[in-house]
Amino acid sequence: MKRFIQTFKNIFSIEDLRVRIFNTLGFLLIFRLGSYVVLPGINPLELSTSQKDGLLGLLDTFLGGAFSNASIFALGIMPYISASIIIQLVTVAFPYFQKMQKEGDSGRKKLNQWTRVLTILITIGQSIGYISATIPNEALLIDRSLVTLSSVFLLTAGTMFCMWLGEKITDKGIGNGISMLIMIGIISRFPFAIKNEFTRTMSSPMFFVIEIVALFFVIMAVVMLTQAVRRIPVQYAKQVVGNKVYGGQRQYIPIKLNTAGVMPIIFAQSILFLPSMIGKFFMEDSTFATAVVSAYSEPNSWQYNLTSAILIIVFTFFYTAISVNPNQIAEDMKRNNGFIPAVKPGPQTAEFIDDVVSKITLPGAIFLSLIAILPAFVSMFDVSRDFALFYGGTSLLIMVGVVLDTLQQVESYLLMKHYEGLMKSGRVRGRAGVTEDEL
Protein backbone atom coordinates (compact mmCIF):
# COMPACT_ATOMS: atom_id res chain seq x y z
CA MET A 1 0.00 0.00 0.00
CA LYS A 2 2.88 2.33 0.82
CA ARG A 3 4.42 1.67 -2.59
CA PHE A 4 1.09 2.37 -4.29
CA ILE A 5 0.73 5.74 -2.51
CA GLN A 6 4.31 6.68 -3.41
CA THR A 7 3.75 5.75 -7.07
CA PHE A 8 0.57 7.84 -7.09
CA LYS A 9 2.52 10.82 -5.70
CA ASN A 10 5.25 10.33 -8.31
CA ILE A 11 2.68 10.37 -11.12
CA PHE A 12 1.25 13.74 -10.06
CA SER A 13 4.66 15.21 -9.29
CA ILE A 14 5.48 15.17 -13.03
CA GLU A 15 3.92 18.35 -14.40
CA ASP A 16 3.55 17.22 -18.01
CA LEU A 17 1.95 13.92 -16.98
CA ARG A 18 -0.35 15.66 -14.49
CA VAL A 19 -1.57 18.11 -17.13
CA ARG A 20 -2.17 15.30 -19.60
CA ILE A 21 -4.20 13.30 -17.06
CA PHE A 22 -6.43 16.28 -16.25
CA ASN A 23 -6.82 17.06 -19.98
CA THR A 24 -7.92 13.49 -20.60
CA LEU A 25 -10.45 13.59 -17.77
CA GLY A 26 -11.83 16.89 -19.08
CA PHE A 27 -12.26 15.61 -22.64
CA LEU A 28 -13.89 12.40 -21.38
CA LEU A 29 -16.29 14.45 -19.25
CA ILE A 30 -17.34 16.46 -22.31
CA PHE A 31 -17.92 13.20 -24.20
CA ARG A 32 -20.09 11.78 -21.41
CA LEU A 33 -22.12 14.99 -21.06
CA GLY A 34 -22.77 15.01 -24.81
CA SER A 35 -24.21 11.49 -24.63
CA TYR A 36 -27.14 12.87 -22.61
CA VAL A 37 -28.03 15.70 -25.04
CA VAL A 38 -31.06 14.38 -26.94
CA LEU A 39 -31.67 15.17 -30.60
CA PRO A 40 -34.27 17.95 -31.12
CA GLY A 41 -37.80 16.84 -31.96
CA ILE A 42 -37.53 13.55 -30.02
CA ASN A 43 -39.13 12.74 -26.68
CA PRO A 44 -36.62 10.51 -24.82
CA LEU A 45 -39.33 9.24 -22.45
CA GLU A 46 -41.03 7.48 -25.37
CA LEU A 47 -37.93 5.66 -26.51
CA SER A 48 -37.76 1.93 -25.99
CA THR A 49 -35.76 0.94 -22.93
CA SER A 50 -35.62 -2.75 -23.83
CA GLN A 51 -32.24 -4.42 -24.09
CA LYS A 52 -30.93 -4.36 -27.64
CA ASP A 53 -29.04 -7.36 -28.93
CA GLY A 54 -26.76 -8.08 -31.84
CA LEU A 55 -25.02 -5.18 -33.53
CA LEU A 56 -27.33 -2.54 -32.02
CA GLY A 57 -26.54 -3.79 -28.53
CA LEU A 58 -22.83 -3.74 -29.36
CA LEU A 59 -23.05 -0.11 -30.52
CA ASP A 60 -25.01 0.92 -27.45
CA THR A 61 -22.40 -0.73 -25.22
CA PHE A 62 -19.54 1.08 -26.98
CA LEU A 63 -21.34 4.43 -26.67
CA GLY A 64 -22.35 4.14 -23.03
CA GLY A 65 -26.09 4.28 -23.75
CA ALA A 66 -25.91 7.26 -26.14
CA PHE A 67 -27.29 5.08 -28.95
CA SER A 68 -30.48 4.14 -27.08
CA ASN A 69 -30.85 7.69 -25.69
CA ALA A 70 -31.04 9.25 -29.20
CA SER A 71 -28.25 11.63 -28.23
CA ILE A 72 -26.25 13.89 -30.55
CA PHE A 73 -23.41 11.39 -29.97
CA ALA A 74 -25.66 8.44 -30.82
CA LEU A 75 -23.26 7.21 -33.51
CA GLY A 76 -20.14 8.31 -31.66
CA ILE A 77 -16.88 7.37 -33.33
CA MET A 78 -18.24 4.09 -34.76
CA PRO A 79 -18.48 5.50 -38.34
CA TYR A 80 -14.83 6.53 -38.06
CA ILE A 81 -13.86 3.02 -36.95
CA SER A 82 -15.84 1.55 -39.87
CA ALA A 83 -14.10 3.92 -42.28
CA SER A 84 -10.69 3.04 -40.81
CA ILE A 85 -11.36 -0.69 -41.26
CA ILE A 86 -12.45 -0.15 -44.87
CA ILE A 87 -9.35 1.93 -45.64
CA GLN A 88 -7.15 -0.72 -44.01
CA LEU A 89 -8.70 -3.48 -46.13
CA VAL A 90 -8.44 -1.33 -49.27
CA THR A 91 -4.76 -0.71 -48.50
CA VAL A 92 -4.15 -4.45 -48.58
CA ALA A 93 -6.17 -5.04 -51.76
CA PHE A 94 -5.12 -2.16 -54.03
CA PRO A 95 -1.49 -1.33 -54.96
CA TYR A 96 -2.29 2.41 -55.24
CA PHE A 97 -3.14 2.61 -51.54
CA GLN A 98 -0.23 0.31 -50.65
CA LYS A 99 2.12 2.75 -52.33
CA MET A 100 0.46 5.65 -50.53
CA GLN A 101 0.94 3.91 -47.19
CA LYS A 102 4.68 3.55 -47.84
CA GLU A 103 5.15 7.27 -48.62
CA GLY A 104 5.69 8.13 -44.96
CA ASP A 105 3.99 11.12 -43.34
CA SER A 106 2.61 12.49 -46.61
CA GLY A 107 1.05 9.13 -47.44
CA ARG A 108 -0.49 8.79 -43.97
CA LYS A 109 -1.97 12.30 -44.26
CA LYS A 110 -3.61 11.35 -47.56
CA LEU A 111 -5.00 8.15 -46.05
CA ASN A 112 -6.33 10.16 -43.10
CA GLN A 113 -8.10 12.52 -45.52
CA TRP A 114 -9.67 9.56 -47.30
CA THR A 115 -10.75 8.17 -43.91
CA ARG A 116 -12.36 11.45 -42.87
CA VAL A 117 -14.30 11.83 -46.11
CA LEU A 118 -15.47 8.22 -45.90
CA THR A 119 -16.45 8.80 -42.25
CA ILE A 120 -18.76 11.65 -43.25
CA LEU A 121 -20.41 9.54 -45.96
CA ILE A 122 -20.87 6.59 -43.62
CA THR A 123 -22.26 8.84 -40.87
CA ILE A 124 -24.84 10.36 -43.24
CA GLY A 125 -26.02 6.91 -44.31
CA GLN A 126 -26.08 5.52 -40.77
CA SER A 127 -27.87 8.57 -39.36
CA ILE A 128 -30.72 8.17 -41.86
CA GLY A 129 -30.99 4.47 -41.01
CA TYR A 130 -30.78 5.21 -37.29
CA ILE A 131 -33.69 7.67 -37.31
CA SER A 132 -35.90 5.50 -39.54
CA ALA A 133 -35.19 2.17 -37.81
CA THR A 134 -34.83 2.98 -34.10
CA ILE A 135 -37.02 6.05 -33.43
CA PRO A 136 -40.74 5.14 -33.13
CA ASN A 137 -43.45 7.52 -34.29
CA GLU A 138 -44.75 8.07 -30.76
CA ALA A 139 -41.34 9.50 -29.75
CA LEU A 140 -41.49 12.23 -32.43
CA LEU A 141 -42.58 15.73 -31.43
CA ILE A 142 -42.49 17.14 -34.98
CA ASP A 143 -42.73 15.80 -38.51
CA ARG A 144 -40.40 12.83 -39.18
CA SER A 145 -38.89 14.42 -42.28
CA LEU A 146 -37.79 17.47 -40.28
CA VAL A 147 -36.36 15.26 -37.52
CA THR A 148 -34.46 13.21 -40.09
CA LEU A 149 -33.04 16.27 -41.83
CA SER A 150 -31.89 17.97 -38.62
CA SER A 151 -30.61 14.71 -37.14
CA VAL A 152 -28.43 13.97 -40.17
CA PHE A 153 -26.57 17.26 -39.66
CA LEU A 154 -26.37 16.92 -35.87
CA LEU A 155 -25.29 13.27 -35.84
CA THR A 156 -22.64 13.96 -38.48
CA ALA A 157 -21.41 16.97 -36.49
CA GLY A 158 -21.46 14.84 -33.32
CA THR A 159 -19.33 12.14 -34.92
CA MET A 160 -16.81 14.66 -36.22
CA PHE A 161 -16.69 16.30 -32.77
CA CYS A 162 -16.02 12.88 -31.18
CA MET A 163 -13.19 12.40 -33.69
CA TRP A 164 -11.79 15.78 -32.65
CA LEU A 165 -12.03 14.80 -28.97
CA GLY A 166 -10.19 11.56 -29.70
CA GLU A 167 -7.40 13.39 -31.52
CA LYS A 168 -7.10 15.93 -28.69
CA ILE A 169 -6.81 13.13 -26.11
CA THR A 170 -4.05 11.52 -28.18
CA ASP A 171 -2.18 14.83 -28.61
CA LYS A 172 -2.71 16.53 -25.26
CA GLY A 173 -3.85 13.69 -23.01
CA ILE A 174 -2.78 10.19 -22.11
CA GLY A 175 -3.54 7.05 -24.08
CA ASN A 176 -5.10 6.54 -27.50
CA GLY A 177 -8.01 8.96 -27.83
CA ILE A 178 -10.37 6.82 -29.92
CA SER A 179 -9.83 3.79 -27.69
CA MET A 180 -10.36 5.91 -24.57
CA LEU A 181 -13.73 7.15 -25.86
CA ILE A 182 -14.86 3.57 -26.49
CA MET A 183 -13.61 2.41 -23.09
CA ILE A 184 -15.30 5.20 -21.14
CA GLY A 185 -18.59 4.37 -22.85
CA ILE A 186 -18.24 0.72 -21.87
CA ILE A 187 -17.00 1.27 -18.32
CA SER A 188 -19.71 3.86 -17.59
CA ARG A 189 -22.17 0.98 -17.35
CA PHE A 190 -20.10 -1.10 -14.95
CA PRO A 191 -21.04 0.69 -11.67
CA PHE A 192 -24.75 0.36 -12.46
CA ALA A 193 -24.35 -3.27 -13.52
CA ILE A 194 -22.48 -4.25 -10.34
CA LYS A 195 -24.91 -2.28 -8.15
CA ASN A 196 -27.93 -3.99 -9.73
CA GLU A 197 -26.26 -7.39 -9.43
CA PHE A 198 -25.48 -6.78 -5.75
CA THR A 199 -29.07 -5.73 -5.09
CA ARG A 200 -30.39 -8.76 -6.97
CA THR A 201 -28.21 -11.22 -5.01
CA MET A 202 -28.65 -9.73 -1.52
CA SER A 203 -30.40 -12.91 -0.40
CA SER A 204 -27.28 -14.95 -1.24
CA PRO A 205 -24.18 -12.74 -0.74
CA MET A 206 -21.80 -15.67 -1.22
CA PHE A 207 -23.00 -15.99 -4.82
CA PHE A 208 -22.07 -12.35 -5.43
CA VAL A 209 -18.60 -12.95 -3.97
CA ILE A 210 -18.14 -15.94 -6.29
CA GLU A 211 -19.16 -13.75 -9.25
CA ILE A 212 -16.54 -11.12 -8.37
CA VAL A 213 -13.81 -13.74 -7.90
CA ALA A 214 -14.70 -15.36 -11.22
CA LEU A 215 -14.62 -11.96 -12.94
CA PHE A 216 -11.15 -11.34 -11.50
CA PHE A 217 -9.78 -14.59 -12.94
CA VAL A 218 -11.43 -13.93 -16.31
CA ILE A 219 -9.75 -10.50 -16.44
CA MET A 220 -6.40 -12.11 -15.61
CA ALA A 221 -6.94 -14.61 -18.46
CA VAL A 222 -7.71 -11.76 -20.88
CA VAL A 223 -4.56 -9.92 -19.75
CA MET A 224 -2.55 -13.08 -20.49
CA LEU A 225 -4.18 -13.33 -23.93
CA THR A 226 -3.40 -9.68 -24.66
CA GLN A 227 0.19 -9.85 -23.41
CA ALA A 228 1.24 -13.25 -24.79
CA VAL A 229 4.05 -12.91 -27.35
CA ARG A 230 6.07 -15.46 -29.32
CA ARG A 231 9.55 -13.99 -29.80
CA ILE A 232 11.46 -15.04 -32.93
CA PRO A 233 15.23 -14.47 -32.44
CA VAL A 234 16.99 -12.40 -35.12
CA GLN A 235 20.77 -12.13 -35.43
CA TYR A 236 22.31 -9.14 -37.22
CA ALA A 237 25.68 -9.45 -38.92
CA LYS A 238 28.55 -7.25 -37.78
CA GLN A 239 29.43 -4.29 -39.97
CA VAL A 240 32.62 -2.23 -39.71
CA VAL A 241 32.13 1.43 -40.59
CA GLY A 242 35.34 3.39 -40.10
CA ASN A 243 36.64 2.57 -36.65
CA LYS A 244 33.26 1.46 -35.28
CA VAL A 245 31.55 -1.93 -35.37
CA TYR A 246 27.77 -1.96 -35.85
CA GLY A 247 25.37 -4.86 -35.46
CA GLY A 248 26.21 -8.28 -34.17
CA GLN A 249 23.56 -8.17 -31.45
CA ARG A 250 20.55 -10.45 -31.15
CA GLN A 251 17.07 -8.96 -31.28
CA TYR A 252 13.57 -10.41 -31.47
CA ILE A 253 10.49 -10.21 -33.68
CA PRO A 254 7.48 -10.13 -31.32
CA ILE A 255 4.53 -12.09 -32.76
CA LYS A 256 1.48 -11.61 -30.56
CA LEU A 257 -0.78 -14.54 -29.75
CA ASN A 258 -3.77 -12.31 -30.50
CA THR A 259 -2.60 -10.12 -33.37
CA ALA A 260 -6.13 -9.41 -34.56
CA GLY A 261 -7.30 -7.89 -31.26
CA VAL A 262 -11.07 -7.36 -31.04
CA MET A 263 -11.66 -7.00 -34.79
CA PRO A 264 -12.74 -10.68 -35.34
CA ILE A 265 -15.45 -10.29 -32.69
CA ILE A 266 -16.70 -7.05 -34.26
CA PHE A 267 -16.78 -8.63 -37.73
CA ALA A 268 -18.54 -11.74 -36.41
CA GLN A 269 -21.22 -9.80 -34.54
CA SER A 270 -21.81 -7.61 -37.58
CA ILE A 271 -22.49 -10.70 -39.72
CA LEU A 272 -24.62 -12.37 -37.03
CA PHE A 273 -26.92 -9.37 -37.27
CA LEU A 274 -27.84 -10.34 -40.86
CA PRO A 275 -29.71 -13.70 -40.41
CA SER A 276 -32.38 -12.24 -38.13
CA MET A 277 -32.69 -9.10 -40.26
CA ILE A 278 -33.10 -11.05 -43.51
CA GLY A 279 -35.30 -13.70 -41.89
CA LYS A 280 -37.87 -11.09 -40.84
CA PHE A 281 -38.84 -10.61 -44.48
CA PHE A 282 -39.86 -14.31 -44.78
CA MET A 283 -41.36 -14.99 -41.36
CA GLU A 284 -44.95 -14.93 -42.57
CA ASP A 285 -44.39 -17.62 -45.22
CA SER A 286 -41.73 -19.85 -43.66
CA THR A 287 -41.42 -21.61 -40.33
CA PHE A 288 -37.69 -22.03 -40.99
CA ALA A 289 -37.26 -18.26 -41.26
CA THR A 290 -39.14 -17.86 -37.98
CA ALA A 291 -36.80 -20.34 -36.30
CA VAL A 292 -33.75 -18.52 -37.71
CA VAL A 293 -34.99 -15.16 -36.44
CA SER A 294 -35.73 -16.65 -33.03
CA ALA A 295 -32.29 -18.31 -32.76
CA TYR A 296 -30.17 -15.41 -33.98
CA SER A 297 -32.08 -12.74 -32.09
CA GLU A 298 -31.13 -14.39 -28.79
CA PRO A 299 -27.40 -13.99 -27.91
CA ASN A 300 -27.64 -16.88 -25.42
CA SER A 301 -28.84 -19.48 -27.97
CA TRP A 302 -26.43 -22.27 -28.92
CA GLN A 303 -26.87 -21.49 -32.63
CA TYR A 304 -25.82 -17.88 -32.11
CA ASN A 305 -22.79 -18.77 -30.01
CA LEU A 306 -21.62 -21.69 -32.17
CA THR A 307 -21.79 -19.56 -35.31
CA SER A 308 -20.10 -16.70 -33.48
CA ALA A 309 -17.20 -18.93 -32.36
CA ILE A 310 -16.66 -20.30 -35.88
CA LEU A 311 -16.75 -16.83 -37.45
CA ILE A 312 -14.32 -15.44 -34.87
CA ILE A 313 -11.81 -18.21 -35.61
CA VAL A 314 -12.13 -17.62 -39.37
CA PHE A 315 -11.83 -13.83 -39.06
CA THR A 316 -8.86 -14.15 -36.67
CA PHE A 317 -6.91 -15.99 -39.37
CA PHE A 318 -8.11 -13.52 -42.01
CA TYR A 319 -7.20 -10.39 -40.03
CA THR A 320 -3.86 -11.85 -38.95
CA ALA A 321 -3.06 -12.65 -42.57
CA ILE A 322 -3.59 -9.04 -43.65
CA SER A 323 -1.82 -7.61 -40.56
CA VAL A 324 1.33 -9.75 -40.60
CA ASN A 325 3.20 -9.99 -43.91
CA PRO A 326 5.96 -12.63 -43.59
CA ASN A 327 7.39 -11.75 -47.02
CA GLN A 328 7.78 -8.09 -46.06
CA ILE A 329 9.35 -9.00 -42.71
CA ALA A 330 11.81 -11.37 -44.41
CA GLU A 331 12.67 -8.73 -47.02
CA ASP A 332 13.30 -6.06 -44.36
CA MET A 333 15.50 -8.45 -42.36
CA LYS A 334 17.55 -9.32 -45.44
CA ARG A 335 17.97 -5.65 -46.33
CA ASN A 336 19.32 -4.94 -42.83
CA ASN A 337 21.65 -7.98 -42.83
CA GLY A 338 19.52 -9.83 -40.31
CA PHE A 339 18.70 -13.53 -40.23
CA ILE A 340 16.98 -16.09 -38.06
CA PRO A 341 19.50 -18.62 -36.69
CA ALA A 342 19.46 -21.94 -38.64
CA VAL A 343 17.10 -20.44 -41.27
CA LYS A 344 18.28 -19.19 -44.67
CA PRO A 345 17.39 -15.56 -45.56
CA GLY A 346 14.73 -14.92 -48.17
CA PRO A 347 11.83 -17.29 -48.98
CA GLN A 348 12.75 -19.80 -46.26
CA THR A 349 12.66 -17.06 -43.63
CA ALA A 350 9.21 -15.98 -44.88
CA GLU A 351 8.00 -19.60 -44.70
CA PHE A 352 9.38 -19.98 -41.17
CA ILE A 353 7.64 -16.80 -39.96
CA ASP A 354 4.40 -17.82 -41.69
CA ASP A 355 4.57 -21.23 -39.99
CA VAL A 356 5.09 -19.65 -36.56
CA VAL A 357 2.22 -17.20 -37.10
CA SER A 358 -0.11 -20.02 -38.19
CA LYS A 359 0.75 -22.18 -35.19
CA ILE A 360 0.15 -19.47 -32.59
CA THR A 361 -2.92 -18.02 -34.34
CA LEU A 362 -4.99 -21.20 -33.87
CA PRO A 363 -4.82 -21.34 -30.04
CA GLY A 364 -5.19 -17.57 -29.95
CA ALA A 365 -8.32 -17.75 -32.14
CA ILE A 366 -9.85 -20.53 -30.02
CA PHE A 367 -9.14 -18.63 -26.81
CA LEU A 368 -10.59 -15.45 -28.34
CA SER A 369 -13.78 -17.27 -29.38
CA LEU A 370 -14.16 -18.68 -25.86
CA ILE A 371 -13.78 -15.20 -24.36
CA ALA A 372 -16.38 -13.89 -26.83
CA ILE A 373 -19.08 -16.45 -25.95
CA LEU A 374 -18.29 -16.55 -22.22
CA PRO A 375 -21.09 -14.06 -21.30
CA ALA A 376 -23.64 -16.54 -22.68
CA PHE A 377 -22.29 -19.31 -20.44
CA VAL A 378 -22.19 -16.98 -17.44
CA SER A 379 -25.85 -16.05 -18.03
CA MET A 380 -26.75 -19.73 -17.62
CA PHE A 381 -25.73 -19.47 -13.93
CA ASP A 382 -28.43 -16.90 -13.16
CA VAL A 383 -26.19 -13.87 -13.70
CA SER A 384 -27.95 -10.78 -15.06
CA ARG A 385 -27.32 -9.98 -18.71
CA ASP A 386 -25.86 -6.51 -17.99
CA PHE A 387 -23.30 -7.89 -15.54
CA ALA A 388 -22.53 -10.98 -17.65
CA LEU A 389 -21.39 -8.77 -20.54
CA PHE A 390 -18.31 -7.79 -18.52
CA TYR A 391 -17.14 -11.42 -18.33
CA GLY A 392 -15.94 -11.40 -21.91
CA GLY A 393 -16.59 -10.30 -25.44
CA THR A 394 -15.52 -7.08 -27.06
CA SER A 395 -16.13 -4.98 -23.96
CA LEU A 396 -13.62 -6.76 -21.73
CA LEU A 397 -10.96 -7.03 -24.44
CA ILE A 398 -11.17 -3.30 -25.21
CA MET A 399 -11.05 -2.30 -21.54
CA VAL A 400 -8.04 -4.50 -20.79
CA GLY A 401 -6.19 -3.35 -23.91
CA VAL A 402 -6.80 0.36 -23.30
CA VAL A 403 -5.82 0.12 -19.63
CA LEU A 404 -2.58 -1.67 -20.51
CA ASP A 405 -1.73 0.92 -23.18
CA THR A 406 -2.41 3.79 -20.77
CA LEU A 407 -0.38 2.22 -17.96
CA GLN A 408 2.48 1.71 -20.41
CA GLN A 409 2.52 5.42 -21.24
CA VAL A 410 2.33 6.40 -17.55
CA GLU A 411 5.22 4.06 -16.75
CA SER A 412 7.27 5.55 -19.59
CA TYR A 413 6.89 9.01 -18.01
CA LEU A 414 7.91 7.64 -14.60
CA LEU A 415 11.01 5.91 -15.94
CA MET A 416 11.96 8.95 -18.00
CA LYS A 417 11.98 11.03 -14.79
CA HIS A 418 14.04 8.31 -13.04
CA TYR A 419 11.19 7.08 -10.87
CA GLU A 420 10.39 3.42 -10.28
CA GLY A 421 7.92 1.79 -12.65
CA LEU A 422 4.43 0.62 -11.80
CA MET A 423 5.59 -2.95 -11.15
CA LYS A 424 8.44 -4.36 -9.06
CA SER A 425 9.41 -6.86 -11.75
CA GLY A 426 9.16 -6.41 -15.51
CA ARG A 427 7.53 -3.66 -17.49
CA VAL A 428 3.92 -2.99 -18.44
CA ARG A 429 3.40 -4.01 -22.05
CA GLY A 430 0.64 -2.49 -24.17
CA ARG A 431 -1.05 -3.84 -27.28
CA ALA A 432 1.16 -1.90 -29.66
CA GLY A 433 4.31 -3.86 -28.98
CA VAL A 434 6.87 -4.91 -26.44
CA THR A 435 9.29 -3.10 -24.21
CA GLU A 436 12.66 -1.83 -25.31
CA ASP A 437 14.38 -4.53 -23.27
CA GLU A 438 12.80 -7.20 -25.43
CA LEU A 439 13.80 -5.70 -28.77
The residues spanned by each domain of the chain are 24-188, 200-439
Calculate the CA dihedral of residues 416, 1, 400, 179 and round it to 10 degrees.
Answer: -50
The pLDDT assigned to 161 comes to 92
The pLDDT assigned to 438 comes to 34
Of 112-116, 320-324, 343-347, 418-422, the one with minimum mean pLDDT is 418-422
pLDDT, tens only, 359-389: 898 888 998 888 888 888 888 888 887 788 8
pLDDT, tens only, 208-233: 899 899 889 988 888 888 888 888 88
Higher pLDDT, 304 or 66: 304
Tell me the DSSP string of 166-198: HHHHHHHSSS-HHHHHHHHHHHTTHHHHHHHHH
pTM for the whole thing? 0.75
The pLDDT assigned to 430 comes to 57
Do 200-439 and 24-188 have the same topology in CATH?
Answer: yes
When pLDDT is cut at 50, 70 and 90, the band that residue 399 belongs to is confident
pLDDT, tens only, 148-190: 888 899 999 999 999 999 889 988 888 888 888 888 888 888 8
The pLDDT assigned to 435 comes to 35
CA–CA dist 172, 162 (Å, integer) = 15
If one looks up domain 24-188 in CATH, what number appears? Answer: 1.10.3370.10
User: Could you tell me which residues come within 8 angstroms of residue 103 by beta carbon, excluding any fewer than 6 positions away?
Assistant: 110
The pLDDT assigned to 239 comes to 63
- The fold of the 200-439 domain, in CATH, is Preprotein translocase SecY subunit (1.10.3370)
Contact predicate 369/313, CB 8 Å: yes
Of 106-110, 206-210, 272-276, 329-333, the one with minimum mean pLDDT is 272-276
Q: Please provide residue 245's backbone torsions phi and psi, each rounded to the nearest 5 degrees.
A: -110, 125
When pLDDT is cut at 50, 70 and 90, the band that residue 436 belongs to is very low
The pLDDT assigned to 437 comes to 35
When pLDDT is cut at 50, 70 and 90, the band that residue 50 belongs to is very low
Mean pLDDT of the chain: 80
Average pLDDT for 263-286: 74
pLDDT, tens only, 328-337: 888 888 887 7
pLDDT, tens only, 110-130: 888 898 999 999 999 888 888
